[in-house]
Structure 1
Amino acid sequence: MIKKQLTALVNLAKSDNNIDKRELSLIYRIGEAHQLSREEIDEIIDHPGKVEKVDELSAEEKFEFLYSIIQLMKIDDEIINKEVDYCNMIADKLGYSYGAVMEMYPIVHKNLVIAHEKKKLQKRIAAFLK
Structure 2
Amino acid sequence: MGTESKRQQRFAGVIQQDLAELFHKEGSIWAPGAFITVTRVRVTPDLAIARVYLSFLNTATAQADLKAVRTKTTEIRYKLGAKIKNQVRIVPQLDFFLDDTNEYVEHMDKLFDEISKETRQPD
Higher helix share: 1
TM-score scaled by length of structure 1: 0.33
Q: Return the index of the structure with the highest Cα Rg.
A: 2
